[in-house]
Chains A and B, each alone.
Chain A
Amino acid sequence: MADDTILSTSGLTKDFGGFTAVNGVDLTVRRGSIHALIGPNGAGKTTCFNLLTKFLAPSKGAIVYNGRDITREKPAEIARLGLVRSFQISAVFPQLSVKTNVRIALQRKRGDSFDFWRSEAVLKPLDDEALRLVDAVGLSAFADLPAVELSYGRKRALEIATTLALDPEMMLLDEPMAGMGREDVERIEALIRKVAVNRTILMVEHNLSVVASLSDRITVLARGQVLAEGDYAQVSKDPRVIEAYIGSGVGHAH
């Protein structure tokens, strides 16, 4: 059973000086699944996400990844263990070209890059794979453009290509569809489905139609606690979930 679980939390809690944003969350993510974390505004999704990616330190509770306690690890270390996150605001390296953005991630395969005396020509062998990944997300026409000049949707696509370059065992996606037009949503949705093969994905997402069509399992958070868990059919019929969404004044998004 333990082998089936890639990531689990027990009693995960985060206090912000009296305000408990996340309160005793027990979460279990099955290996190879697409797991969505949803909930009305202020439910603690983003805090929970930041705890899992170590950008915040939990007040209480434990996080176990692949049988290893990562509660006290630093963010760069969990990335090295194969647990890689994306960001809500598109996270690219704006002044670097699209190709170099991806290559920075591929460069991790060399280990640390403290060799300041070497020419960047030693990175040439990575170019082919970088271009392959850039192509996979439909950006090959923009490979030499600085990332800052890409449209919003394309920046998100570039970010996914960069994350994929690390070949992570598990990807944590923070609202991958936030602020996207419908065409972009469809493209990124297809992309996520494609990259989810042989990988585990945990995502926070507002767009419920995306959640419905992508995820195998859904955890609903409200007021920092787990309200319900199950597949979309189960969760969407749960009266407590309906109550939480309507009660908070937020209808079904999009």
Chain B
Amino acid sequence: MANITLDDAPAGGIALAETSRGTERLHRAVFIGLGILLVIAPFVVYPVFVMKVLCFALFALAFNLLLGYGGLLSFGHAAYFGMAAYVSAYAAKVWGFPPEFAILSGMLVAGVLGLVFGALAIRRQGIYFAMITLALAQMVFFFSLQTPKFTGGEDGIQAVPRGYLFGLFNLGDDRTLYWLVAAIFMAGLLLIYRIIHSPFGQVCKAIRDNEPRAISLGYRANQYKLAVFVLSATLAGLAGATKAIVFQLASLTDVHWSMSGEVVLMTLVGGLGTVFGPIVGALVIVSMQNYLAGLGSWVLVIQGVIFVICVMLFREGIVGLIAKKIGKPL
């Protein structure tokens, strides 16, 4: 790595974290491809399955925004996903909110929770940061367990009405609901893509790469870290709130620490710090859980094996590996 001259640079190097014109074109093509897939998918695959993948993909995208571009490892992202699911389910079922407002309120609560937890956690770095996020998420879990009036305790909030979108479209129909979920997913993905490529995103990447240096250039690093934390929590909340409407259920599973672990797994399998990796990771993990469901607890063992293989053999993840092969960031 010592003295790299121009000639051998582009071939062997790591993927550039920037967008050149060629990369922009490639990304546009991927977005169009994804759009086409989203349109075809419900006619080929069971729509509820696709919706599940999309909800978890959005969750993983939100997590990846924080870890891959903010350099912050949160071990408690289930808190924002699960709390938003509860709020959205409660608002739809008990207060009779229409689905769009139920989802929005879930998202809002996740954002506020992210603001409070983030403000506490960013005071520490590295593993301590991760531990604080985990501890705070465990508090949310026990809060959910201890407040059955709100969360339904062990039963969760069941039979959440899907309702009518804008009072017009009956979301009880899986196909109709699918278009809403696909639109939410696409909007979330585009927003994250924009954040990564905004002036704000540039500073986040700089802080991720070298925080003391960013500070010495006059950037108040903690404010940027908090901002990206809140954005990530809000988007994780959007995923959780949408999931509650799709499955008409919010339960303790959504706030459990294993949910926080699952989103780490999805992101790593797909490709940490790649734009599209978390989508592939979510597809792989959710498919596995669905199609191997017959194996019972063995699914967890298989997941564990995949995790180990992933970390040992291809740390870049599936999409990271492809990006390296074609020499362009994805």
Contacts and interface: CB of A to CB of B under 8 A. Distances in A.
A29 to B, nearest CB: 18
B299 interface: no
B212 to A, nearest CB: 7
Contacts of A103: 202
Given A76-B218, A87-B213, A145 B17 contact: no
A182 B6 CA distance: 22
Given A96-B206, A100-B202, A104-B202, A116 B231 contact: yes
B216 A93 contact: no
Contacts of B218: 76-77, 79-80, 84, 108, 166
B124 interface: no
Contacts of A94: 209-210
Given A107-B202, A116-B195, A120-B199, A146 B213 contact: no
A46 B16 CA distance: 34
Contacts of B194: 116-117, 119
Interface string B9-39: 1000110111110000000000000000000
Contact of B4 (A105, A116, A144, A149): A149
B268 interface: no
Contacts of A104: 202-203, 206, 214, 217
B221 interface: yes
Interface in A106-123: 107-108, 110, 112-120, 122-123
B201 interface: yes
B119 to A, nearest CB: 16
Given A55-B212, A93-B209, A141-B6, A105 B217 contact: yes
A97 B14 contact: no
A107 B16 contact: no
A116 B4 CA distance: 34
B197 interface: yes
A151 B199 contact: no
8 contacts: A94-B209, A95-B14, A104-B203, A107-B199, A116-B200, A141-B6, A142-B6, A144-B20
Interface of B: 1-4, 6, 9, 13-14, 16-20, 194-195, 197-203, 205-206, 208-210, 212-221, 223-224, 227, 231
Given A107-B202, A148-B14, A149-B13, 18 more contacts: A74-B220, A76-B220, A77-B218, A92-B209, A92-B210, A92-B213, A93-B209, A94-B209, A94-B210, A96-B202, A103-B202, A105-B217, A113-B202, A114-B223, A116-B201, A116-B231, A120-B198, A149-B14
